[in-house]
Amino acid sequence: MLSGMAATSWWVWKFEKVSRIEFSVLKKKKPSPDREKYEVLVGELKRWRVDLGRDYREARTKAEKQAVGNDARLILELVMPEMMRCWLGTPYDFNGTAEKPGEGKIACGYFVSTVIRDAGFKVNRYKLAQQPSANILHTFIPREDCFLEVGTEYPIYADNVEEMDDGIYLVGLDTHVGFIVNRSDGMKFIHSSGSRPWAVVEESRKNAGALQRSNWRMIGCLTGEPGVIRTWLAGDKVKVKN
C-alpha cells in the first residue's frame, strides 16, 4: 500500500498517463456524420425562412426590407456551416449522390448542391451538381461578383480570401467545388474530398490541400448577394446555369 509522497506521486502519474491516453484518443477520433442533428437544423432553417419571408413581404420601407435581409443572412451564416459539419466523415465517391449525412457516399458537387437545397433554396440538386464549378457559382452569383485567379501562389490567394468579408463562399477549382466559410478567425474549406481521407472534411487554411494544388480558383460570396437572400426569403425556384 502506498502512502504519503509515494501515494501522491503515483496518483499524479496515473492521472497524467490516463489523461495523455484519453487526449490521444480524442485527437485521433474521426468525425462521424450526424443525420439527426442535420434534420433538426434543416427544420429550424425552414421555420426561419418562412417567418422571415413573411416579415420581408410585410415590410413597407427599403430600410425594413434591408433589416430582414440582414437577419436572413445572419441566420444562414450561423446554420449552414453547422449543416455542412453534419456531413463530416461521409465517404466520398466520384458518383456519390447521398441524400443525407452518412447514408452512402457523396461527390463534391452533390455535397454542395444538397446542402444548398436543404438550406431552403429551391434548386434541382442533380442538375446543379452535374455542372462545371463555374456554372454552380454563376447559378447564384453574378459573373461580375465571382473572382477568378489563375496561377496565384497559394499564400497570396489565401491572404486575399481572408481579407474578404465574413460569409459563406462557393469556390470552384480545376476539377472540384466546395464551400469556404470565412470568419474573423480565418477561413475553413468544407468539401467532399477526392483525396485522403476521401470523405467530407473541414480544413484550415494550412491543411486545405485541394485549394493549394489547384491552379484555377473561382470564388463568390453566396450569402453576400442580396439577390440570393431575396430568392431564399421568397422561396423562388433557382434556375441552374448550364
18 pLDDT more than 90: no
**Environment class of 127 (CB within 10 Å of its CB; exposed 0-12, middle 13-18, buried 19+):** middle
- Whether the predicted pLDDT of 83 surpasses 50: yes
Element (H, E) at 178: strand 177-183
d(CA 81, CA 73): 13
The residue with greater pLDDT, 13 or 162, is: 162
Give the model's pLDDT for residue 26: 45
Condensed to tens digits (0 to 9), the pLDDT of residues 124-151 reads 999 999 999 999 999 999 999 999 999 9
Instruction: State the pLDDT at residue 97.
Output: 98
DSSP 60-104: -SHHHHHHHHHHHHHHHHHHHHHHHHTTTTPBB-TT-B-SSTTSS
Are residues 185 and 192 in contact, defined by beta-carbon separation less than 8 angstroms? Answer: no
**What does the domain layout of the chain look like in residue ranges?**
35-234
The percentage of the chain sitting over the pLDDT mark of 90, rounded to a whole number, equals 86
35-234: in CATH 3.90.1720 = yes
